[in-house]
Amino acid sequence: MVDEQDAIVYKEQLIKRIEDPEALNLLEEDNYSDLMDYLLAGPMTFNDIKRAFEEDDNPKSNKTIYGYLHDLRKGGLVMEAGRRVITKENQRMKTLTLYARTARVYYGAIDMEERESLTKLLFQIFSHLFGTAINMDTKSNDCLKKLYDEFTEQKRHDTGIMNDQANEELWDLLGELSVREAKYVIDIACIFSFIFKKEEFREKLIDCVMKNK
């Protein structure tokens, strides 16, 4: 009788910030994103991954799959999580490497020059949408920009706490969600956490908006 046992040494995080833009681009490329989707089910061996591509009517050669794994590991998206030990009648037959995602959800962390440019654009879009929602002009509001930055910094802090304290119950629940759904829930949780922790924020926000009235 053949017995298989997985020995997991490293578990994926809930959230990970990725510094390398090229690594983030891999998540948008079809075959790389397919492989990452397969790993949502849990750690897999090379043969498991190869079989998953075949079941999707998208077979890949060994060399191609090793190339995908190399690129994803280099980008910090995939790791060697442990080993699968295969035994027969208490005799070890072979040991296979298990590959896993480094995180369930990824957020991009770009370099400072790009971040400054992108932050301006994001705030411009945010202020337009926010102003539309409350039917007021919130453009060119430096005070609002400070509150926007305060929220993004707090979100960074809160996602770190979520990462550190994620338990098995949470992982079981997340297993029912797609990556996009998980990211959405995390974002909403961060908003609620911010509102709960910053009692004075609403008054600050009203003051900021009224300055532009």
Burial of 102 (0-12, 13-18, 19+ CB in 10 A): buried
Could you tell me if 1 and 148 are in contact, meaning their C-beta atoms sit under 8 angstroms apart?
no
Count of structural domains, the chain: 2
In this prediction the pTM is 0.76
The residues facing 3 across adjacent strands are: 87
Cα–Cα dist 128/143, whole Å: 15
Residue spans of alpha helices (H) in the chain: 21-26, 30-38, 46-55, 62-74, 112-134, 142-165, 168-174, 179-197, 201-211
Regarding whether 100 and 6 lie in a shared domain, the answer is yes
Regarding whether 202 and 121 lie in a shared domain, the answer is yes
Instruction: Tell me the three state secondary structure of residue 204.
Output: helix
Domain ranges, residue 71: 2-107
**Amino acid present at 69:** L
* Residue at a domain's end among 92, 107, 122: 107
Q: Give the pLDDT of residue 112.
A: 44
Regarding whether 183 and 202 lie in a shared domain, the answer is yes
Regarding whether 86 and 136 lie in a shared domain, the answer is no
Regarding whether 32 and 115 lie in a shared domain, the answer is no
* Residue at a domain's end among 82, 107, 132: 107
Each residue's pLDDT, cut to its tens digit, for the chain (213 residues) gives 778 888 999 989 999 888 888 898 999 999 999 999 999 999 999 999 999 999 999 999 999 999 999 999 999 999 999 999 988 777 767 899 999 999 999 987 655 455 566 677 888 888 888 889 988 877 767 888 888 888 888 988 998 899 888 888 888 888 788 888 988 999 999 999 999 998 888 888 888 888 766
Regarding whether 187 and 97 lie in a shared domain, the answer is no
